[in-house]
Structure 1
Amino acid sequence: MAEQVSAEMVANVHSVTVSKGQRVEPGAMLLVLESMKMEIPVLAEGGGVVADIRVGAGDVVQEGDILVVID
């Protein structure tokens, strides 16, 4: 089953550190969010292959928005 990684807060996407098709291990950094001048790493809970990246650097995300899908 696919893992949908979602935003836990309103934030700006600082950087995306993976690419579509890349294999990731549990705990791998997927992207970095920025909120209130703090950088927050977003990590994969499970391993797999990055199937979709739904945000890019500079995007503003809302709580609950899907950021990355891992198969």
Structure 2
Amino acid sequence: MKEIIATMAGTVLNILVTSGDNVSGGQEVLIIESMKMEIPIESETDGLIKEIKVSIGDFVNEGDVLIIVE
């Protein structure tokens, strides 16, 4: 399994996938808002979304696990 992690601290603005979705490497899966900027988070690998560990509105720190891909 592969973890998609937060690249910076911020608030989860939007989740673009759901559990069970197939993703490709480079596909945007989540948007974080930090310092009034929207930062897209991309999957680094192809796979199936196993678990989404955050909800819209959650504050995340850099390095937090956001999504599990298998």
TM over 0.5: yes
Partner residue, 1:12: 11
AA aligned to 1:49 is L
Partner residue, 1:36: 35
Percent of aligned pairs sharing the same letter = 39
Runs (4 or more) in structure 1 with deviation over 3 Å come to none
Partner residue, 1:54: 53
Measure how far apart 1:20 and its partner are.
0.2
Structure 2 unpaired stretches of 5+: none
Write the distance in 1 (CA, Å) between the matches of 2:8 and 2:26.
19
Write the distance in 1 (CA, Å) between the matches of 2:13 and 2:63.
17
Taking only aligned residues, the RMSD between alpha carbons, in angstroms, comes to 0.6
Could you give the per-residue CA deviations for residues 42-66 of structure 1, whole angstroms, max 9, x where no partner exists?
Answer: 0011100000000011000011110
Write the distance in 2 (CA, Å) between the matches of 1:11 and 1:46.
23
